[in-house]
Structure 1
Amino acid sequence: MRILCSTTPMEGVFAPVLPLLRSRTGDDVLVATGPDLVDRVRSAGLTAVAAGPAAPAAAARAMTDPMFTAGSEPWRIGAVMFSRVMAPEKLPALTAIADDFAPDVILHPPVDLAAPLLAARRGIPSITYGTGLLLEPELVSAMARWVAPLWTDSGLSPDTHAGLYRHRYLNPVPASLQPDLGPASACASQIRPAVPGSTDDLPPWASQLGDRPVIYVSLGTIPIFNQPSFFAPILEALDDVDVIVTIGHTATVDSLGPLPPNIHAENWLSLAAVLPRCDAVVCHSGAGTTLAALSSGLPLVLLPRGADQFPTAAACERAGAAQVITPDRLTADAVRHAVATVLKDDSYRSAARGLQTEINAMPTAATVELP
């Protein structure tokens, strides 16, 4: 089978599909993504070609788009960026790639909107791989509306859901965290969420972690959410525990300023190696980090700032696995209290472990069949 994976050039969007792509050893796999992710894809052992804009450039253009300035909803920047900037720019290059590669199926995340349109034009299946909770209905409706001219220009009737659920949806979220799959219900099947990295890849300082609780801190990899200044109230609060913090590759560890000896900072670490050493996770509610933490049965303190982070945080809070601190309440005292709560109140760990049990029962990427 010839599989064309069209993915948005963002680590949090690409990482969830990596185990699935690596498992297709008998198939011919090609990844089409923005130029800023091509090297990352190739370093993972996959064949990659550039198509569409780089993520920072697309985000910058989206912020000047009149549809972005027309409202203040948290999802609006993504809707504009993915439908009005990335999709039209990527479609011609993706079409040329497909003409040469002749895929049997196109695999894509919910935010790569050129892919399902191209599949519909070619009359082949498109499979959406979920990266977290289903996208909010308001977000999907806006994206479908703004990408509709591309469908019309291709001689096709615009898809109500931007093509996201036209054939199959691979859902990485346990049912108790997301019981209602709405428009994806008819085509959804489960896939166990990925926990990035290898299990034996930690720096030497990890062996020095003592008897105190260990807290992992992450604000993801997207600059708009992980500015060095955002870490200040979090790290100030965590003075009586051991802390592992990753800040992404867009800043340096030095940008955090002088750190006390209980805080160990790196640009990136393998979550598969880090999380088994931890007692709780403090993060931005990004789907990848959140699902990885729950895969390890760890309670959460969630600090949503935008995009899909608010619904993800709300779902974890409803499930009893998380304390949530919204941006208007984010202080060192609030973080300190929330971390103490999830460490001392066993109900949070119990809820997280219940979700871990559900996740462990989901099919692995290696056992998921593609058409």
Structure 2
Amino acid sequence: MTRVVMAAIPFPGHVNPLRPIAAHLVARGHDVTFVTGTNLRDAVLGTGATFHPLKGHADYDGPNVYQTVPELVAAAPGVEQIAVYLTEVLAKPMREQHEAVQEVLAQQPDTPTVVLHEMYFNGLWPIQLGAPGIRPARVLGLGVTVLPLYSVDTAPFGMGLLPDASPSGRERNARLNAEVRAAFSSAQRLAEQLVRDCGGTGTLPSYFDAQVVVPDECLHLSIPSLEYPRSDLPDSVRFVGVPWEADHQDVPLPQWWEDVLNAEKVVLVSQGTVSNDDYSELMLPTIEALAGQDCLVIATTGGRPVSDLGALPDNVRAAEYIPYTQLLPHVDVFVSNGGFGGMQMALSRGVPLVLAGETEEKKDSSAHAAWTGAAINLATGRPRASDIGAAVSKVLRDDSYRAAAQRLQAEYAQYDALRTITDIVESAGETPVSQGTDAIGDLLHS
């Protein structure tokens, strides 16, 4: 039996990808403790893992972060908003995250423990950079968005630009990388200070590099074809596929489910679980665009009241939640704001997308999906109904989008994420690692 600590910031989109890993490790008899916010306690306990709460700044309500951090609303989507995220949502909770992990490790201080944390949880940075405390046997970062790494071959994370490794493209990338590093300098200084406050002595890499290279290894929960090619990708990054959660057979299907089974064309629209408090961004324009069209439109609200959508056209159905594992096999096009989890679930089922998102990582995930040929990226968080309608019609008419999605589906099927991650965890638990930062300097990009 291996002792495992898992950790995630308190957003459903960051906890949910880790849930099947936790459940699988528990089923194999491992001792698993999951550290996250109290708002996701039930989600953790449902895996069979022990729940350990974050406290203080770290215990915020992720789905309502736009209400609790008003600076996010005031900031322009993209680099400016991400800079606020880095400071207010990711960096400030570092000390409390570090303390929470140390509390769990102190319960069995002599037992080798493997830590798996999604890469936006920064609480392992201090111990990885030399802070006093109990060191895990191994620290494994888990990639839950497109990789945010700086690269000579790509524009920086947050801009939603396509890769360009040509000489002129690399000049563009170098210039933009420098500009974005400058824009994030305040968050970088705060993170460095917090590492020092916790007793860390090592040098913290640039923020987004750190998320990938400070762990001993980064297990990216995705496939290579959804990532831009990077000639300077660190050797510590390993693609493992997506650990899919089991079907939610206990969730009742809506009473109109027969309509889905009988429809010739089904279009799904969702704004995910975070940027879903303003339906006028995507849900309502999509409903307007497809009202009366020869398709069935399914709107899922991510837990928000369906009644907020108002009166619905005859060809539209709505629900707070429908298990995607049951819904997506019947979907022809998924209209989404670009949340990484839902996007990957659609692509793994061979479903093409129409994407319209600007907040969090959504500019970049939308650009990545369009780059594969499996999606149309409307490149705005507030698309016009006419543009949505035209994009949906194009995807339905042009078989190349579904063909590209099906190519990705075949690639996803080649991976067994749960088996791979389990093998790594069980091997790491047998062989303690004394220091995980020796090679960090070699992995950084100029």
Please report the TM-score for the alignment, with normalisation by the length of structure 1.
0.89
Q: Does 1:238 align with 2:238?
A: no
What's the counterpart of residue 258 of structure 2? 207
What's the counterpart of residue 203 of structure 2? 158
| Structure whose CA Rg is larger | 2
Q: 2:141 aligns with which of 124, 128, 139?
A: 128
The answer to which of 137-146 and 181-190 deviates more is 137-146
Distance 1:174 1:155 in 2: 33
Match for 2:255: what amino acid?
P
Distance 2:108 2:232 in 1: 31
Checking the alignment, whether the CA contact within 8 Å between 2:297 and 2:317 is kept in structure 1 is: yes
Q: Which has the higher contact order (CA 8 A, sep 6+)?
A: 2
Checking the alignment, whether the CA contact within 8 Å between 1:176 and 1:319 is kept in structure 2 is: yes
What's the counterpart of residue 2 of structure 1? 3
The alignment-based identity, stated in percent, is 25
What's the counterpart of residue 278 of structure 1? 331
Cα distance change on mapping 1:58 and 1:314 into 2, 3 Å: closer
What's the counterpart of residue 117 of structure 1? 126
Q: 2:46 aligns with which of 38, 43, 47?
A: 43
What's the counterpart of residue 19 of structure 1? 20
Cα distance change on mapping 1:88 and 1:293 into 2, 3 Å: same
Distance 1:54 1:329 in 2: 27
State the shift of 1:73 in Å. Answer: 2.4
Q: Does 1:83 align with 2:90?
A: yes
What's the counterpart of residue 54 of structure 1? 60
Cα distance change on mapping 1:118 and 1:327 into 2, 3 Å: same
Checking the alignment, whether the CA contact within 8 Å between 1:110 and 1:135 is kept in structure 2 is: no
Cα distance change on mapping 1:184 and 1:115 into 2, 3 Å: farther
Q: Does 1:32 align with 2:44?
A: no
State the shift of 1:6 in Å. Answer: 1.2
Q: 1:309 aligns with which of 337, 354, 362?
A: 362
What's the counterpart of residue 248 of structure 1? 302
Q: Does 1:147 align with 2:148?
A: no
Q: 2:238 aligns with which of 171, 185, 189?
A: 189
Distance 2:87 2:224 in 1: 29
Aligned length: 367
Unpaired runs of 5+ in structure 1? none
Match for 2:297: what amino acid?
V
State the shift of 1:43 in Å. Answer: 2.7
The answer to which of 20-29 and 280-289 deviates more is 20-29
Distance 1:353 1:145 in 2: 44
Q: Does 1:171 align with 2:224?
A: no
Distance 1:225 1:33 in 2: 22
Please report the TM-score for the alignment, with normalisation by the length of structure 2.
0.75
Unpaired runs of 5+ in structure 2? 151-155, 158-179, 429-446
Q: Does 1:94 align with 2:101?
A: yes
Match for 2:143: what amino acid?
G
Partner SS, residue 162 of structure 1: helix
Distance 1:315 1:72 in 2: 17
Cα distance change on mapping 1:77 and 1:274 into 2, 3 Å: farther
Checking the alignment, whether the CA contact within 8 Å between 2:35 and 2:100 is kept in structure 1 is: no
Checking the alignment, whether the CA contact within 8 Å between 2:105 and 2:113 is kept in structure 1 is: no
Match for 2:18: what amino acid?
V
Aligned positions of 1:212-361 closer than 5 A: 212-222=264-274, 224-230=275-281, 231-239=283-291, 240=293, 241-249=295-303, 251-327=304-380, 330-361=383-414
State the shift of 1:22 in Å. Answer: 1.4
Checking the alignment, whether the CA contact within 8 Å between 1:225 and 1:305 is kept in structure 2 is: no
Partner SS, residue 38 of structure 2: coil
Distance 1:182 1:76 in 2: 26
What's the counterpart of residue 171 of structure 2? none
